[in-house]
Amino acid sequence: MPSNKSVSDAPIVQFTNCRILRDHQLQREDLWVREGKILNPEKLFFDEKGSADVQLDCKDSIIAPGFIDVQINGGFGVDFSLATDDFKSGIDLVSQKILSHGVTSFCPTLVTSPPSVYHQVLPQISVRNGGAHGAGILGAHLEGPFISKEKKGAHPEHCLRTFEAGAFQDLLATYGSLDCVQIVTLAPEMRRSSEVIQELTKQGICVSLGHSVANLSQAEEAVQHGATFITHLFNAMLPFHHRDPGIVGLLTSDKIPAGRRVFYGMISDGIHTNPAALRIAHRAHPKGLVLVTDAIAGMGLAPGRHTLGQQVVEIDGLNTYIAGTKTLSGSVATMDTCVRHFQEATGCSVETALEAASLHPAQLLGIEHKKGTLNYDSDADFLMLNDSLYVQATYIAGEEVWRQDALGM
């Protein structure tokens, strides 16, 4: 069949002998890619009379959308909450290293810090596409400092702030700029938080509820004002109580505005959340579950002392604590580990586990038309995995950016 080059001269790659995750199902069909996008083969055959320039045998791999990590504090010795002269090379290192764990896009996350840190770090974070250089950056996630003292977790108390009379102006003065900000985590019970949530939402920034002692009605009010996410469910919030379930109650609330979905992050590392709690959340609200790593600088490094912003943390096996305490401080789990643990703990389908790390975070950020799915015309960011959900290769914009055998593993 002659290739019709009138539409584009770019080569067409056909991935064969694979099972593609599309429409919530693994489907045995080929994946067609051109110019970084996923092609509709019917249009290619019938409208363009085109065919593949290159065929790749996937050897019965699963092909799934690339993982999206919306809460990652650093990794491989790099801490996003530290203002350093070589911050850019640090973020480049993390974005390169997480490719091997299937992450194709992420939100670098800053924990509660002094204003000077935000003013130095945020101008150095820019939204960018992924590629051979590393995973794409979707924008920063600012977790704090407008959070509850009682539920500060690993956040330094001396840096916490409240909203004063000009609430949104306080936030702007603290952060310096919102240009590259994608998510802000705040405690909704704080005075004047409603106006801040409305203003952030108006600017297209996702508001997440976390590190909070909010009751259910305060959480519902925050959602009515535009909040759409819960930061690491169960961690750093009031525990579920049958008379007032707190933020956890949003999973089954009947006060969520029509057409709105509340999403919630889960650190599925076997440490932060008991498998039974993971199962409860998943069964209560499966379509809202977003896997996050909440990884810190110590991810990928040997046990010992590392940093998380202003704090020193100690890694002991998979546990990470504020040094000298038993306060958990982020995780050292990688995203592919979280996906496998989630599937094992809940007994959910492979499709469900993969979508919790791809489709759901994309829906949360409103980018599901281009990321998080393998629909036609979406970005060709995808993974090849074996049946045990170990990543074999990572592709961004249709280009291979990491492969297991390339490292002789």
Q: Which residues are catalytic?
A: 294
In this structure, what is the dihedral angle of CA atoms 203, 206, 212, 218, given to the nearest 10 degrees?
70
CA proximity to 365, closest of 104, 99, 139, 94: 139
Residue 358 assigned ligand-binding role: no
CB atoms within 10 A of CB 248: 24
CA distance 408 to 17: 23
The bridge status of strand 54-65 relative to strand 12-22 is parallel
How far is residue 242 from each of residues 215, 225, 239, 249, 405, measured CA to CA in Å? Answer: 12, 25, 10, 9, 51
Residue 319 assigned ligand-binding role: no
* 3-state SS assignment for residue 67: strand
* 384 beta partners: 63, 393
CA distance 220 to 210: 13
Retrieve residue 282's tokens: 């998943």
Query: Are 266 and 235 in contact, with CB atoms under 8 Å apart?
Result: no
Residue 243 assigned ligand-binding role: yes
Residue 155 assigned ligand-binding role: no
Residue 221 assigned ligand-binding role: no
Residue with tokens 């592709």: 395
CB atoms within 10 A of CB 54: 10
Strand positions, DSSP E, 66-203: 67-72, 74-75, 78-79, 103-111, 136-137, 140-143, 181-186
DSSP state of 134: B
CA distance 222 to 174: 21
Residue 328 assigned ligand-binding role: yes
CB atoms within 10 A of CB 335: 25
Angle at 274 between CA 272 and CA 275, to 5 degrees: 120
Residue 232 assigned ligand-binding role: yes
Residue 284 assigned ligand-binding role: no
Position 217, amino acid: S
CA distance 111 to 5: 50
Residue with tokens 């002659």: 2
Retrieve residue 176's tokens: 């310096």
Residue 136 assigned ligand-binding role: no
Total residues belonging to the chain: 409
CB atoms within 10 A of CB 47: 11
Element (H, E) at 250: none
Q: Detail the residues annotated as belonging to a binding site for Zn(2+).
A: 143, 211, 232
Annotated binding residues, written as ranges, equal 143, 154, 211, 232, 235-236, 243, 272, 328-330
Which residues fall in the annotated binding site for substrate?
154, 235-236, 243, 272, 328-330
